Structure 1
Amino acid sequence: MAKLVGAFAMSHQLGAPDGVEEQSERVFEGMKAIGRRIRALDPDVLVVVTSDHLNNFTLTAPAPFAVGTAETFHPLGDMGLPRDPVPGAPDFALGMRAFAEAQRVAVATVDPIQPDHGVMIPLGIVDPARTIPAVPLYVNTVFYPEPSPAASRRLGEVLRAYIDQLPDDRRVVLLAGGGLSHWVGMPREGTINEAWDRAFLADMLAGDVDALAARANPEILDVAGNGGLEVNAWIVVAAATRGTTGECLFYEAIPQWATGMAGVEMRLS
């Protein structure tokens, strides 16, 4: 039987270290630690749960949840990121979509797609050699209506159920990308709500999926920004781990990067 062997989350932003050298070093080291831990698990599939940034979806097809089904992904290359191809896992992606549909959770399929930094910053750190088959699983945070934390929880539960019923022996790792609090293209850009970030992290690390899913998008928008909606990807991963506790590898509030930066591992028995 397939097995979920790892679950992680990290912010998918990076910035210049100028003026924030010590903070940026702690972030880089934390991200690299997540990469080492994931590679040590020797996964057969890496599901990257994240958001798109107006690069692959449109108002006519906003797709609250979507999964990339390509054999090979060719990154967009935004933020100067490498465009080396990434292997996909189309059988896993298509099977997950069909399983979710049977559970009345709508997940669109997208192919072709050019993953932007939402996928490629976490993936580039975790798998720089581009050897692990990856499945981008998108949680919309841009187009109205965005999936709620409760809906994100349901997707995480369905994703775990899908993995658990696979008849093969694949080793699966989940990696959420995004967050924490930040405002994008808004007057409050550069503001970070550190108290909110730490409260969210406390619930995440305690495995309190009920508290995470009880949040509401309007509240997140108000106190954590439009970029803060990306924590819904973290809620997907939290729900898939069924309330296990976690370890925070780093947290830094970096106004120069306009976001609260964090990375965690959820402990799986």
Structure 2
Amino acid sequence: MAHISASVYTSHVPAIGAAMDLSKTREPYWQPLFAGYDFSRQWLKENRPDVILLVYNDHATAFSLDMIPTFALGTAAEYQVADEGWGPRPVPKVIGHPELASHIAQSVIQQDFDLTIINKMDVDHGLTVPLSLMCGEKDPVKDAWPCPVIPLAVNVVQYPVPSGQRCLNLGRAIRKAIESYDENLNVQIWGTGGMSHQLQGARAGLINKEWDNRFLDLLIENPVGLSEIPHIEYVREAGSEGIELVMWLIARGAMADVDCAKPLPKVLHRFYHVPASNTAVGHLILQNQA
């Protein structure tokens, strides 16, 4: 049977992708941030999964205010890199895994989650920046991402957005779906977005280091309790865009210790950095324990 071996959590700041694409990673401003992913890149090389299920939010490229799915699962064979206004990022296209994605859709919908099924869409920086951070620079012609990727887009842009509890429960349903897939696949699930930041208004540039690190503590030790935090606290403490952090709860809910009599996952790497384009960057790698 398929199984989830680990979960990865990371911010997906668009300026990070631009810094990589423009060869600025060694500049004094950016070097400390990218150094925080050195361990992660080596770890991914040594622990390459068969499939990554990547939770992210679209930034008005695949979807618009005309159509806003709460949870949208990509079931396509491949995904082109989106043009977000200045041309597509110079990174490889994303190869999907239609068989596992379709199985997850069937299983999760039967568990009473109403997913939107996406057979064709472009993917933006919300998905490609985490891949770049974890995999390093890629030549779009010669290289490829290390494995197939299943995109799961979550609406955290236009209210109403899903609650933390709903996201944690979706992770639980995804774990059951993957574990019922009749092929021996090693799957990683990645939660992306956040951490504290606000892009507009009187509080533009808000960063709350204390709240961010408390979030990381609870994500590791008490994800069920963390899922009960209301939307208003995310907005008040982490800024208007801090609500993206509910997507991390999908990845955390898919880990083996949630609902099971198993130990907490092992923390392989934890990193936090401020600033990155007026945003706090958080990063975790959690490994299921046998």
Assess same fold via TM > 0.5: yes
- Displacement of 1:215 after TM fit? 0.8
Percent of residue pairs identical: 26
- Displacement of 1:240 after TM fit? 0.9
Runs ≥4 in structure 1, deviation > 4 angstroms? 15-18
The partner residue of 2:75 within 65, 69, 74 is: 69
Equivalent residues of 1:154, 1:239 under 8 A apart: yes
In structure 2, what residue type is equivalent to 1:251? Y
Query: How far apart, CA to CA, are the structure 1 residues paired with 2:269 and 2:185?
Result: 27
The partner residue of 2:286 within 248, 266, 269 is: 266
Query: How far apart, CA to CA, are the structure 1 residues paired with 2:213 and 2:272?
Result: 9
Secondary structure at the residue paired with 1:259?
A: coil
Query: How far apart, CA to CA, are the structure 2 residues paired with 1:77 and 1:38?
Result: 27
Query: Aligned pairs, how many?
Result: 266
The equivalences for 1:15-34 within 5 A come to: 15=16, 21=28, 24-34=30-40
The equivalences for 1:1-269 within 5 A come to: 1-13=1-13, 14-15=15-16, 21=28, 24-78=30-84, 81-127=89-135, 128=138, 129-206=144-221, 208-241=222-255, 242-243=257-258, 244-245=264-265, 246-254=267-275, 257-269=277-289
Does 87-96 or 33-42 show the bigger shift? 33-42
Does 35-44 or 163-172 show the bigger shift? 35-44
Secondary structure at the residue paired with 1:56?
A: coil
Query: How far apart, CA to CA, are the structure 1 residues paired with 2:163 and 2:47?
Result: 31
From the superposition, tell whether residues 126 and 252 of structure 1 become closer, same or farther in structure 2 (CA, over 3 Å).
closer
- Displacement of 1:83 after TM fit? 4.6
The TM-score, its normalising length taken from structure 2, stands at 0.85
- Displacement of 1:247 after TM fit? 4.4
Unaligned runs of 5+ in 1: none
Query: How far apart, CA to CA, are the structure 2 residues paired with 1:248 and 1:32?
Result: 10
Listed one character per residue, the Cα deviations across residues 227-265 of structure 1 (whole Å, up to 9, x for unaligned) are: 1111111111111113434344310121x5121101101
In structure 2, what residue type is equivalent to 1:119? L
Equivalent residues of 2:11, 2:281 under 8 A apart: yes
The TM-score, its normalising length taken from structure 1, stands at 0.91
Let me know the Cα RMSD of the aligned residues: 2.1
Equivalent residues of 1:8, 1:34 under 8 A apart: no
Give 1 or 2: higher helix fraction: 1
From the superposition, tell whether residues 185 and 137 of structure 1 become closer, same or farther in structure 2 (CA, over 3 Å).
same
Unaligned runs of 5+ in 2: 139-143, 259-263
Equivalent residues of 2:40, 2:269 under 8 A apart: no
